[in-house]
Amino acid sequence: MSLPTGDPASVSALGGALLTQSGRLADLVTDLGASASRARRRSLDDATGHELLLLERAATELDRVGSLLQAWTATAVEAAARARQLAPDLARADLVVDGQLVVESSGPSRVDPETRARERQRLQELLNRVTMVRARELARLGRELRHSHDALAAVAADARAGRSRGS
């Protein structure tokens, strides 16, 4: 049996890329910050303060979502592994998983009906735990993606409008 895990490797690749990009943006922020400090010491205008703040905001979002995607990958892989561990017990009781439900496989079975019903209930509870964790993490990922989407839209708008802080 298997849960719909998507392609964890592809999600992990994106998460890793975002963390790398966030790190590079942080380096640029450091470079611009050092220049701004030198300018202030020489009583010059800070010509890059606006850019620095916006790069910093973007770096924060890329880092946040990159970390979340890495965490989601771990959750998805673990959930799939735990679901696979149920397979031998499911097979012994002539049961299968249909979506998120443990059901009797079609056709006659030699398994004692009472044992089968008991196993069905037990395995359903185990499967529920796996799917619940996965659903909770998916919901969290969704919430964070919405929030970060809005934050990045504000960064883009501020960059194009010449402002450094969202309203």
Partner 1 sequence: MSDGSGRAPTADGSALRALAAARAETRAMSDRLLDHLPDVGDLATQRLLDGWVEQAADALRALSEMAEERLLDLGRPSTPDGIPTRYAAEHLASGPAAPEGGGR
Q: Is the distance from CB of 24 to CB of 134 less than 8 angstroms?
A: no
* Distances from the Cα of 19 to the Cα of 11, 139, 142, angstroms: 12, 22, 19
**Region 35-94 residues binding partner 1, contact defined as CB under 8 A:** 35-36, 38-39, 42, 44-45, 47-48, 50-51, 54-55, 58, 61-62, 65, 69, 72, 76
CB 105 within 8 A of CB 47: no
Angstrom distance (rounded) from CA 79 to CA 77: 6
Q: 49 vs 124, which CB is nearer to partner 1?
A: 49
The contact pattern for partner 1, residues 2-41, with x = CB under 8 A and - = no contact, is: -xxxxx--xx-xx--xx--x--xx--x--xx-xxx-xx--
Cα 24 to Cα 59: distance, rounded to the nearest angstrom = 8
For every residue of 16-51, which 3-state class applies, written as one string? HHHHHHHHHHHHHHHHHHHHHHHHHHCCCCCCCHHH
Minimum distance from residue 69 beta carbon to partner 1 (Å): 7
Closest approach of Cβ 92 to partner 1, in Å? 28
What mask, x for binding partner 1 by CB under 8 A, covers residues 148 to 167? xx--xx-xxx-xx-x-----
How many other CB atoms sit within 10 Å of the CB of residue 79? 21
In the complex, the residues that contact partner 1 under the rule CB under 8 A are 3-7, 10-11, 13-14, 17-18, 21, 24-25, 28, 31-32, 34-36, 38-39, 42, 44-45, 47-48, 50-51, 54-55, 58, 61-62, 65, 69, 72, 76, 138, 141-142, 145-146, 148-149, 152-153, 155-157, 159-160, 162
